Structure 1
Amino acid sequence: MENLMVDDDTSNQQQELCEQLNRTKSNEVTPQQREAFVKLLANFVRQRDSDKKHSEDQLFQMFKNKETNTVNMGKFLAELRTIGIRRTDPRIQEMMENLKRVHKLNNYESGSPHTQHLNEETFKAVIAPNIVLIARAFRHQFVIPDFQGCTKDIEEIYWKCKSNTDGKVANYIPQLSRVNPDYWGVSVCTIDGQRFSIGDTSVPFTLQSCSKPLTYAIALEKLGAQVVHQYIGQEPSGRNFNELVLDYEKKPHNPMINAGAILTCSLLKTLVHPEMTLAEKFDYAQTWFSRMAGNEPLGFNNAVFLSEREAADRNYALGFYMREHKCYPEKSNLRECMDFYFQICSMEATCDTLSVVAATLANGGICPLTEERVLQSENVRDVLSLMHSCGMYDFSGQFAFKVGLPAKSGVCGGVMLVIPNVMGMFMWSPPLDPLGNSCRGVQFCKELVEVFNFHLYDNIKHGSNKKDPRRHRYETKGLSVVNLLFSAAIGDVTALRRHKLSGMDITLSDYDGRTALHLASAEGHFECVRFLLEHCGVPHDPKDRWGNRPVDEAETFGHEDVVALLRQWEEKVLKAKSCGTGETGYNSDQDSDSSSGKGSAKKGTAPGSDILS
């Protein structure tokens, strides 16, 4: 039977049942086990549906305008963007299509489908098809929880590297020599599909040698590692990338140098669907590349292809040299194989697109955007291993030592960087160093591992002062309280919203009994105070160890608007108590002194006071 996935809240008994069923063959399942499993599955479906509905309710309460009782979809989509989810993400395509339908039904009243104001019923219907992803996004359950903070550091590195004017643009063909040397772009795509781009990331350029790991991956998928490595080695050559040299077995040293890439193309051309014409084989390879890129646009530059073929003396020399040593499979047509190699190198893409390819490799072969398994994980492992040892031309050893991550560069000025199980990145800047690598790209990679502990041999637990963006902002209760109170003290409503959506107890206090409401009131952050009262349902008058209430703090520091708000809220609470209702953010069954954080409102809380869990 297929492995069953159980929710975190499933009881131990249910987990044991699932494990037992996973170990049992289909024809050995007893009627009692089957009945118990059906009940478990029904409970799971009910819980899932309940969670989805609860998430929809909470999102509406968090984003609604109190006066109009509608959600501004422009602000909602902007919040998704800060988390890394773009409008073009295919995983929220249904939501975007629903927005267009609603816009059409409303006779195009607002300027754009993305700026509509939706009531509760319409909002829930619009987001319902993609609620699982959206809820994960707002709970910050992605691999980079604080994506905005991470991209801020990446942006700082980008600007630091932009001032680097070293290097010269490749000039062995006219098309490359005419590229603007000031182009500089960086794109990021995490394994959860969070995306960020800065600079010239929408300018197309040819892949050149950045295509080599991809053709090698296709060959592994279609032929298997055993067949591929009968023809191609796995060792760094220690020589120039286009040198006329083979290893001791008379094979190209690895697929990341020109000789190895030419032979990889020969394997694809000759052994994979040999009945295909050259044009069909190019379409076939381009389809594979597109699947790795999440079906993002890929092009072809015919001018570069023709120039590559005209200036290919060294590559033809490599081709004939390998034919002399009988490196090719039987029935290989050298001319067609060379043309196929030049076609692959002349494919066009952007930084944005290639960052998704890198993320597919980082994600073990599963594209983060389409969630399609494009490559088998063991083949991705082999690709990344050779990128790590051979991907940066004659700088590969130095790069592995200083950066410690799989990467592949090309004379186009691109550098594909893979951070396994985290993200893929693509840097593009045409000026190259003497070894053929992008000057800005290499500098960026070095700076990146100085800031983040991404080097494969960085110790994550001990002895490092580098940042780890994979760690959740509140991994321990103590850190939770610090972050919560700090967010309130600086008036960061967005951070408070994030804490609430993550399921955190907003009534937590420090050792002096001071809550987020104390800090926000003392600093005069009116919007934070209102958010805590209206949306989080916190008690309005908790006392700290000195007996001070939030209103006392606001009075002490002269924040009259906050004082007025707290007084009005207190009157509302007293009125609700006298009427026996619980329509305010205060729980009348609890003692008002909740400085220990135990007075979290549960009954009769203000809209949005429940937690997305």
Structure 2
Amino acid sequence: MVNAGAIVISSLIKTHSNKAERFDYVMQFLKSMAGTEYVGFSNATFQSERETGDRNYAIGYYLKEKKCFPDRADMIGALDFYFQLCSIEVTCESGSVMAATLANGGICPTTGDRVLSAESVRNTLSLMHSCGMYDFSGQFAFHVGLPAKSGISGAVLLVVPNVMGMLCWSPPLDRLGNSVRGIHFCQELVSYFNFHNYDNLRHFTKKHDPRRRTDDDPNKSVVNLMFAAYSGDVCALRRFALSAVDMEQRDYDSRTALHVAAAGGHTDAVTFLTQICKVNPYIKDRWGNTPLDDAMQFGHDVVISVLQKYQHEYKDSSSSTEEKNPAMDTMKNSV
């Protein structure tokens, strides 16, 4: 996972398409991996790479001499494409969703879309585990034991298979081109949690296992969910949804998180609960009000339009499900 391989890969992507189509293809792929989070492009970085990438040009000519490129491939074009891909921007949030997509077997956890096949994920994680941290990869595999990929921007993308993904960023690099604080964080993480590939989950009692469910007070879960909806904290709502929390659970007034977010006018939270979590918009609280009623009472026009549109979609999806399952009509009649 170094420059020479990346340059050759750049020459193999969409070989029969023009430059714009090739770049759009990769951008759409990365955006689908990142779900709804930010993926951008830095033209300043692209121009700098293009003007100062003497070593990459040398690698390109050497690869051309050894006939590593496909027939009739444009080596300079491949390098330009490579420089473009080196200039794609992400945030810690979007990078962590990309890592979580790899941890989730190729399915983006925030959208539910399959982005990669299970076999591609396995191959990618194998490469990341063996050579994702440059010349530090062997020591990283020994001490951390997780697939990761570092970059000279100071980012370290870490995958805990079947659990989570994360991206940490700290620009100061060591002599091998890895983030100093990023590596330290990964080592501290594995020293506290039993995430190392060879930690024994049954007998390694010195470390914490966040995968083991505890008997938390269910009332605490409701309070945390409602507070996140009251604050409009989409990140917290996403954490709850990914932790298999029931997003339709109710408080003592039979109000759901959608009720609270709609009453507060938090459009982003309402959109997340409806479009991603697919909660029931017709649940009524103890006063007989739906989330739409709350939004109307407090005059949140944008939320009202979102909920009205979603109610039609929810009703259509429910009716189509009943058509596909005629046994449901029989059950209703019997009840």
Instruction: Judge same fold: TM > 0.5, yes or no.
Output: yes
- The code of the aligned residue for 2:80 comes to D
Q: Is the 8 A contact 2:194 2:204 kept in 1?
A: no
**Counterpart check, 1:410 vs 2:151:** yes
Structure 1 segments of 4 or more deviating over 6 A? 495-498
Three-state SS of the structure 2 residue aligned to 1:443 is: helix
Q: Greater share of helix residues, 1 or 2?
A: 2
Matches within 5 A, 1:533-548: none
Aligned ranges for residues 261-300 of structure 1 at < 5 Å? 261-270=6-15, 274=16, 276-300=17-41
Question: In the alignment, which residue of structure 2 is the partner of 1:308?
Answer: 49
Instruction: Render the CA deviation track for 1:286-308: whole Å, top value 9, x for unaligned.
Output: 01110011032211111110110
Alignment of 1:416-565 (within 5 A): 416-474=157-215, 494=220
Check conservation: 1:402, 1:446, Cα contact below 8 A.
yes
Number of matched pairs: 226
Amino acid at match of 1:257: V
Q: CA deviation at 1:461?
A: 0.2
How far did 1:373 drift? 0.4
| From 95, 101, 105, the counterpart of 1:360 | 101
Residue of structure 2 equivalent to 1:380: 121
- The residue number in structure 1 matching 2:136 is 395
Deviations 1:227-246 (A, max 9, x none): xxxxxxxxxxxxxxxxxxxx
Equivalent residue letter for 2:110: L
Q: In structure 2, do the counterparts of structure 1 residues 375 and 496 end up closer, same or farther at CA, with 3 Å as the change threshold?
A: closer
- In the alignment, structure 1 segments of 5+ residues that lack a partner are 1-255, 475-482, 488-492, 499-533, 536-613
Cα distance change of structure 1 residues 308 and 461 upon mapping to structure 2, 3 Å threshold: same
Partner Cα distance (1:495, 1:311) in 2: 53
Structure 1 letter corresponding to 2:183: V
The AA in structure 2 aligned to 1:441 is G
Letter in 2 for 1:494: K
Separation (CA, whole Å) in 1 of partners of 2:132 and 2:195: 18
Amino acid paired to 1:383 = T
On the 8 A contact 2:146/2:160 being kept in 1, the answer is yes
TM-aligned CA distance change 1:269 to 1:317, over 3 Å:
farther
Indicate the SS of the match to 2:174: coil
2:68 alignment counterpart: 327
Q: Name the SS for the 1:464 alignment partner.
A: coil
For 1:356 and 1:425, the matched residues in 2 are separated by 7
AA aligned to 1:322 is L
* CA distance in structure 1 between the partners assigned to 2:14 and 2:54 by the alignment: 21
Which residue among 306, 331, 342 is the counterpart of 2:83? 342
Are the counterparts in 2 of residues 458 and 464 from structure 1 also a CA contact under 8 Å? no
Return the alpha-carbon distance in structure 2 between the equivalents of residues 425 and 294 of structure 1.
Answer: 14
Which amino acid letter does the alignment assign opposite residue 11 of structure 2? S
Q: For 2:12, what is the secondary structure of its paired residue?
A: helix
SS at 2:125 equivalent: helix
Report the residue type matching 2:220 in the other structure.
Answer: T
Alignment-mate amino acid for residue 302 of structure 1 = N
Distance across 1 between alignment mates of 2:136 and 2:192: 22
SS in 2 for 1:408: strand
Between 1 and 2, higher relative CO (CA 8 Å, sep ≥ 6) is seen in: 1
- Cα distance change, pair 269–315 in 1 and its aligned pair in 2 (3 A): farther
Any conservation in 1 of the 2:193–2:208 contact (CA below 8 Å)? yes
TM-score normalised over the length of structure 1: 0.36
Letter in 2 for 1:267: L
SS for the counterpart of 2:135 is: helix
For the 8 Å contact 1:269–1:337, the answer to whether it is kept is no
Query: Which structure has the larger Rg?
Result: 1
